[in-house]
Structure 1
Amino acid sequence: MDPLISLTIRNRKPWFVPGEILDCEYQIDCIGPKAIQAVEASVLWTTFGKGDTDLGVHFFERRIPEDLPEGDLRELHRFQTVCPESPLSYEGELLSVRWCVRVRLFPIKGRETSLDIPFQLGPTSQGGPRRPVRPEVPTAENNDSQTNSRRSSTGDDED
């Protein structure tokens, strides 16, 4: 059975302003505690569109079993970061900037598994973005865009 990553943005909203705290948590299931080499959590942005793809990491945390007294990385883990001033989320014809929270699981055997939850960063006008990023389409597997779980051993970020 493939590992299951459960990832939640605890703030329960898709839009954040610079300086606001992004509060997240994750838990790993369906894998033994001694079968995990490492778990990484990150908050990052990526550009899409014409030209080269850029990626920037705002927050990064790598945990290994030796970091914990019991060595069990499956347990619920919470992390927070202050949202940066830039780059702001943007959806244009030639370029898009998208933010996400990502958790990656590295098993001792097999391929890595990862899960992303997108969010938007920028100033708000009446509670919404100036130029909205295309909304996420709920799937049958997950109709709450702020809580996600996935079981996969493919190593790619698409469901």
Structure 2
Amino acid sequence: MNIYYSVIRDALLLRMTPEEMVAVLHTNLLGSMLTCRAALRSMLHTQGAAIVNIGSVVGLKGNSGQCVYSASKAGLEGFTRSLAKEVASRNIRVNLLAPGFIHTDMTAGLREEAGARSIPLGRFGTPDEIAQAALFLLESSYITGQVLVVDGGLQLAM
């Protein structure tokens, strides 16, 4: 399983410096790619190995002020699907988890009441709910190259 920290720097594209853009892309996209690459060698000899990359609903739908973050997470979808094709013959599964608003340090500055109005289930998710979804993907031996959206229905409202 791919575990890393995500970086977000919300700003209109014209206000972001190239250095900020590179930091977001390096952490969110290149970081996942390098982690997967490092893990694959040992996975080649493991029956039923699986990778779960962590994306975002923003990578699927986009969001104003989050062009670079969205691009980094959208890149994970293409990377995940391509890697799934590359390693399927070795019985390694690769999937992407795309959370919505989840109670984390990254969302701590957001007012839940305002954000929850746009979520059909009416609340932010919890880290445990994301962990359960990741476990589902890790244990599902016939799922690969897929995106599992865990967002309380947020995409329905977008």
Does the TM-score normalized on the shorter chain lie above 0.5? no
Report 1 or 2 for greater relative contact order, CA contacts < 8 Å, sequence distance ≥ 6. Answer: 1
Greater per-residue helix proportion: 2
TM (normalized to structure 1)? 0.34
